[in-house]
Amino acid sequence: MNLFFHLGRYFILIKRVFSKPEKLSVYMKQIIHEIDNIGISSLPIIAIISFFMGGVITIQSAFGFTSNLVPLYAVGFTVRESMLSEFCPTIVSLILAGKVGSNIASEIGSMRITEQIDALEIMGINSAGYLILPKIAAGVLIMPFLIAISMFLGIAGGYIMGIAVGAVSSYEYVFGIQAFFEPWKLYYSFTKVITFAFLITSISSYFGYYTHGGALEVGKSSTSAVVYSSILILIFNFLITQLFYT
């Protein structure tokens, strides 16, 4: 019953979020602000994680492929496949669920407990639309770019670290990252990213919006936002993978 209550309330909130904005120009400004808040501020952490993960996968693959039957260009191929298919779209989204999700839930939750959302409502503004729509739009717009940067840095990290430790030659690595490339996997990856961006921003906003009480409840909402966003990312990752691979 609790699940149905939350599902129902979530969809009612989403309906309110997508109702006609009071003034488009104000919403556009908010979207740009949120792109900075959600996207640009997440870039450093994503860059660092992706770069080092690319390096680690390269080294593990290079020293793990001990059979002479496996060519060394398989290292580049492995890095590309893991970065494009799983690490960047899914694992980076999980990291963003933690960073962005908790940020959104605590921001909106704090606004709720300090009556700022009531103030918006009394002014005649659709508070759900004004607060949540720009976050969802910004997330869906900016996250594909973040993940594209993450993919590039992951592969670049693999190249730089692989060469630096002598695990793989430049020619083999570059040959490997170009080998057996299937473009549809990019559609698969970016479909996942856009879905995850929507899930992270909308679920976190939902938990923030319905916060009741004080600072303790804001903390609980933040935690719930991260937990439920992460679980739903994993479930939708499975569903989308099923759709594309079967």
Partner 1 sequence: MIEIKNIHKSFGDHKVIDDVSFVFEQGKTNLIIGESGSGKTTVMKLMVGLHEIDSGEILYDGQNFPVLGVKEKQEVRKKIGMLFQGGALFDSQTLEENVRFPLDMFTTMTKEEKLERVNFCLEKVQLTGKNKLYPGELSGGMKKRAALARAIANNPQYLFCDEPNSGLDPKTSIVIDNLIQSLTHEFNITTIVITHDMNSVVEIGEKILYIYKGKPWWTGNSKDILKTTNPELVDFVFASGFMKEVFNAVKNR
Tell which one of 12, 26, 165, 234 touches partner 1 (CB under 8 A). Answer: 26
Q: What is the CB neighbour count within 10 angstroms for residue 77?
A: 20
Tell which one of 45, 52, 98, 121 touches partner 1 (CB under 8 A). Answer: 121
CA angle centred on 37, ends 36 and 39, rounded to 5°: 65
Number of residues this chain uses to bind partner 1 (CB under 8 A):
16
Which pair of tokens denotes residue 108?
A: 């909106």
* Cβ-based nearer residue to partner 1, 70 or 119: 119
What residues from 55 to 114 belong to the interface with partner 1 (CB under 8 A)? 110-111, 114
The tokens 């992951």 sit on which residue? Answer: 154
CA pair distance 72, 178, nearest whole angstrom: 13
* Cβ-based nearer residue to partner 1, 122 or 235: 122
* Cβ-based nearer residue to partner 1, 126 or 169: 126
CA pair distance 79, 75, nearest whole angstrom: 6
* Cβ-based nearer residue to partner 1, 28 or 48: 28
Helix (H, G, I), strand (E, B) or coil at 246: coil
The tokens 């303790």 sit on which residue? Answer: 216
Asked if 212 contacts 111 with a C-beta cutoff of 8 angstroms, the reply is no
Residue 104 beta carbon to partner 1: minimum distance, rounded to whole angstroms:
13
Tell which one of 40, 115, 165, 243 touches partner 1 (CB under 8 A). Answer: 115
Stretch that binds partner 1, among 118-126, 170-178, 181-189, 208-216 (CB under 8 A): 118-126
The mark string for 6-25 relative to partner 1 (x by CB under 8 A, - otherwise) is: ----------------xx--
Regarding 210 and contact with partner 1 (CB under 8 A), the answer is no
Tell which one of 4, 44, 68, 124 touches partner 1 (CB under 8 A). Answer: 124
Tell which one of 28, 123, 231, 235 touches partner 1 (CB under 8 A). Answer: 123
Residue 97 beta carbon to partner 1: minimum distance, rounded to whole angstroms:
22
Residues contacting 47, CB < 8 A, separation 6+: 149, 150, 153
Nearest to 103 by CA among 187, 160, 36: 36
Asked if 125 contacts 22 with a C-beta cutoff of 8 angstroms, the reply is yes
CA angle centred on 198, ends 107 and 12, rounded to 5°: 75
Stretch that binds partner 1, among 119-127, 150-158, 187-195, 198-206 (CB under 8 A): 119-127
Nearest to 95 by CA among 156, 64, 54, 50: 50
Regarding 28 and contact with partner 1 (CB under 8 A), the answer is no
| List of residues contacting partner 1 (CB under 8 A) | 22-23, 26, 110-111, 114-116, 118-119, 121-126
